Amino acid sequence: MATTAAYVVSTTRTRRILETTGIVVIWVALGISLHLSVRAYLLLGIPLTAAFQWGVRRQPLRALWVRDAVPFRLDATGWAVALLFAIAPVYQFVRDVQARSPSTFKLFDLAAVGGAFAVAYALRNFRREMLKPMLLCLATAGVIGILIMVASGFGVGFAHRSFTQRFAIGLGNLLMLIPVSFVLEEVSFRGAFDAHVHHPGETRGFLSALLVSGLWGLWHLPVVLGQAPLPALLPQLLAVHCFIGVPLSVYWRRSGNLFVSGSTHALIDSVRNALLVLPWH
């Protein structure tokens, strides 16, 4: 990795911030100009993140999931874990094929199948010292995110479901969204963008985490445009995603393992989908 080391030394944080902001601006601009659906907008992140990781960061893809980029190998347990996390996406893919759902639905499912193998790689490289960041991430970003979703229910409305239905929906979403987070959205904003903006040992970590979280909030614009006037949307997007995003970044940095932030993000979204009635889901 001599090329990577030379690149890291020769680039300033200002340049890295501009590069990260630039890719997010391109992503948002494409989402708005092409009028992409939610799933198409998410899927666009796969080539953009891969291009950013290879062309800008000059790092292997496996560093998106385990910062130290240890060789990608799965033992028998790893393969079992991968197959376990692939069950929900494969099941959803079969359902979408039978329902003749749009191609973006099926591509989303297949992306999640691929993400299951990245989950297994991260879990097989999950060390005991990463457990504390994991629990702290759940206790901060997870609790904040869930409280925000509950509060949102009083504004947008709670779905009319029984507790059993909510639990089933939440669990099903969690099993689907954990592998999704390893190929879509979370892998971009923590695995690639946050890792590019902030390098281990650098100072002003809170400010850089706040910056990445703000970009993450603005990234949601193509998804929510039209739901409210822009002057009302922007502060809401920034506030919500900074409250959640800063601890996601902090504990991704402390652990170096995307399972920490990815599973927390998936939990928040699973609770949201179980509780709320949202027009874009």
Q: Determine the pLDDT at residue 277.
A: 66
Confidence of residue 6 (pLDDT cuts 50, 70, 90): very low
Determine contact, residues 13/151, Cβ cutoff 8 Å: no
- Give the start-to-end residue ranges of the domains of the chain: 2-69+128-275
pLDDT, tens digit, 9 for 90 and up, residues 124-183: 999 999 999 999 999 999 999 999 999 999 888 898 899 999 999 999 999 999 999 999
- Dihedral sign from CA coordinates of 221, 263, 119, 116: negative
DSSP secondary structure letters along the chain:
-HHHHHHHHH--HHHHHHHHHHHHHHHHHHHHHTT--HHHHHHHHHHHHHHIIIIIS---GGGGTBTT-------HHHHHHHHHHHHHHHHHHHHHHHTT--HHHHHHHHHHHHHHHHHHHHHHT--GGGHHHHHHHIIIIIHHHHHHHHHHHHHH-B----HHHHHHHHHHHHHHHHHHHTTSTHIIIIIIIIHHH--TT-S-HHHHHHHHHHHHHHHTHHHHTTSS-HHHHHHHHHHHHHHHHHHHHHHHHHH-BHHHHHHHHHHHHHHHHHHB--TT-
pLDDT for 41 beyond 60: yes
pLDDT for 38 beyond 80: yes
Percent of the chain, pLDDT > 70? Answer: 95
Confidence of residue 5 (pLDDT cuts 50, 70, 90): very low
pLDDT, tens digit, 9 for 90 and up, residues 250-268: 999 999 999 999 999 999 9
Q: Determine the pLDDT at residue 279.
A: 52
